[in-house]
Structures are given as C-alpha cells and as structure tokens.
Amino acid sequence: MKDKGDLNMQSKKEKRTALMQKLSPIFRCPKCGEELWVDEGSRLKCIRSHSFDLARQGHVHLTKKPAVSNYSSELFAARREVIEGGLYEKMHEALGELLDWEGKTILDAGSGEGSHLMALKKKKDFTGIGTDLAKSGIEMAAKGEDELLWVVADLAEAPFLDSSFDTVLNIFSPANYEEFHRITKNGGAVLKVVPGSRYLQELRKLAGESAYSNEDVVEGFYRQFPEAESIKVSFTAAVPENLRLPLLKMTPLTWKHTDDKDFQEKARSIKEITIDVLILKGRIQKQHRSQSGADPS
C-alpha cells in the first residue's frame, strides 16, 4: 500500500469516527445488549468491556455470528457499476421525494455494497448508516462515500438502540419488521422497495424465467402497516454497452447463465431495461405500546 492510500484510509477512518461520535449513542452491543460508546482509538465499547474496532477501511463488525462471505464481491461490483451508471436514477428521485430527509438519521437495512444509499446521499442531506450481513458488500461500501457509516450486522438482532432512526430503508432485501419497529422512532417511516412483475423483464425473458410476483411480500408489509402508502415506479432505462455485462452479473436471475457465451452474447444486445418497482411506505406508531405499558404480543 502506498503512502497516499494510507492517508486516504486514515482520513476515512477519522471522518467515520467523528460521525460515530456525533450519532452516539446509537449502537447496541451485539453481545450483551448494552449501549456502546466511542472509546479512544475509534473503538466502540460497552459497560461490560466488549469492544468493536472500526476497521482500517472504515467499517465496523457488530455481529455475534460470523459475517457471511459467500456473496461474491463480483456481484456487488456489478451492482455498483449498474447503479452508479444511473439506471436507477428515477427510482432514487421517487424515493427522494417521499420523505423529509434533511438532517434525518436513516438506516439502509440490507444495503449490500451501498450504492442506493450513496446515490440518495448525493441528492439529500441526511446522516446514513448502511448495514448488511455480507461482509464483502460492506467492505466495498466502506471504500466509497466518507459521510456514511457502514456496519456488518445481523438484521435479526440489529445492533442499534431503540428508536434510533427516523427512517429505515429496505431496498430489494428481506425485512425484519420486529426490529424495524424497535429501532425506528415513533412517527418515523419504513420505506420498502419491492420488485414489480415487470422488473428486469428483458433479462427474465432471456433467462426463460416467468414474471415475478411480489404479492406475498406486499401482503406482509400491509399486515405490519395496514395504512401503508404504495407508489408504483416503472420506467425503461437505456443500457449503455459497458453496463450490459454488469447488468447480467448483478442479478440471481441470470447467474446460472453467466458462463454461457451464447447467453452473454444475447444479453449484450439488451439496449434497454425495465425498472418496475413498488415503494411501500409505512409509519411507525408506538403510542399504543407506551400507553398500555406492555406489549400484548
């Protein structure tokens, strides 16, 4: 590693430490559930002396179980190329308009390599944390945008204190509503992005896959948030030649074909792609719980 690289790493780590301090207390110890605070040397520490270092690359591991590393970094790199290439721009615009982002604290739950959160950060001024159990995704995310924090974490035991976030984003990723409810402030929002039936339909057709149904996922969301709003965002984006192979590599739809030269050749002929999604927005209501004093469930 060259000196310049070290300096970059250093400043990244320093900037993120400052951000952790600003947000503190927000983190919860994954081992004992106590509050974590920022100790000397960019370390998060709890009262029972469990401690978690901010890695040199600028991310932190807050998991009890080992992080998953079987997601290929190739997939995350492909996703980043496609998202940075602007194919999801209209979806980001729609998300940007759905909330008051200014000065808010936002969690991207299941961020992968963080490209969606980074794209939103370019549009809006908020404090953001991205989290995923896939270590390779978070490591890649940490190399980008300094003003965001990246955490390897298990959503089933989110390492955040109660009512820490104004909004939880959950984009093309499984949800854990119990934890979303706990870590979001009363009156805060959960924004979930679900693929629609025509999402990436050009690739689906090529791979011989039938149309995707989001019915179960949408129903699951409405069970949690009966008064949820849903916003359909559907558009076709031009796919520049340099993004055609990354597009193929970023989705499980076409994984089994990625070594198939004929298939790749056909995929290279995809000049436009359909991005068809449903954005679901639910409000967190905690009054009932605090008034009754106990959680009936």
Collect all residues with Cβ–Cβ distance below 8 Å to 159 and sequence separation of at least 6.
Answer: 27, 28, 29, 30, 36, 62, 63, 151, 153
Phi-psi region of 273 (alpha: psi -120 to 50; beta: other; left: phi over 0): beta
Backbone phi, then psi, for 162, in 5-degree steps?
Answer: -60, 145
Residue 36 or 95 with smaller CB distance to Zn ion: 36
Minimum distance from residue 34 beta carbon to Zn ion (Å): 5
Tell me: is residue 50 an annotated ligand-binding position: yes
Residue 78 or 161 with smaller CB distance to Zn ion: 161
Count of alpha carbons within 13 angstroms of residue 255, beta-carbon side: 8
- Cβ-contact 50, 193 below 8 angstroms: no
Six token digits for residue 118: 């980074």
Asked if residue 7 binds Zn ion (CB under 5 A), the reply is no
Tell me: is residue 199 an annotated ligand-binding position: yes
E strands, 76-226, in order: 105-109, 127-132, 148-152, 165-171, 184-195
Region binding Zn ion by CB under 5 A among candidate stretches 22-30, 130-138, 140-148, 238-246: 22-30
- Cβ-contact 127, 121 below 8 angstroms: no
Region binding Zn ion by CB under 5 A among candidate stretches 2-10, 26-34, 130-138, 170-178: 26-34
- Cα-Cα-Cα-Cα torsion 120, 200, 78, 220, nearest 10 degrees, comes to 60
Residue 46 or 117 with smaller CB distance to Zn ion: 46
Residue 46 or 83 with smaller CB distance to Zn ion: 46
Nearest position to Zn ion, beta carbon:
29
Tell me: is residue 128 an annotated ligand-binding position: no
CA 46 from centroid of its chain's CA atoms: 26
Residue 62 or 277 with smaller CB distance to Zn ion: 62
Minimum distance from residue 149 beta carbon to Zn ion (Å): 19
Collect all residues with Cβ–Cβ distance below 8 Å to 273 and sequence separation of at least 6.
Answer: 87, 200, 202, 203, 236, 237, 239, 247
Q: Residues 28-57 vs Zn ion: string with x where CB under 5 A?
A: -x-xx-x-----------x-x-x-------
Q: By CB under 5 A, how many residues form the interface with Zn ion?
A: 7
Asked if residue 25 binds Zn ion (CB under 5 A), the reply is no
Region binding Zn ion by CB under 5 A among candidate stretches 24-32, 55-63, 99-107, 281-289: 24-32
Minimum distance from residue 37 beta carbon to Zn ion (Å): 11
Tell me: is residue 29 an annotated ligand-binding position: no
SS3 content of the chain, % helix, strand, coil (to 5): 40, 25, 35
Residue 50 or 283 with smaller CB distance to Zn ion: 50
Tell me: is residue 71 an annotated ligand-binding position: no
Six token digits for residue 130: 């991205």
Strands 272-283 and 165-171: unpaired
Region binding Zn ion by CB under 5 A among candidate stretches 27-35, 112-120, 193-201, 234-242: 27-35
Residue 46 or 95 with smaller CB distance to Zn ion: 46
Tell me: is residue 202 an annotated ligand-binding position: no
Binding-site sequence positions:
46, 50, 88, 113-114, 199
Provide the annotated binding site for S-adenosyl-L-methionine: 88, 113-114, 199
The footprint of Zn ion (CB under 5 A) covers: 29, 31-32, 34, 46, 48, 50
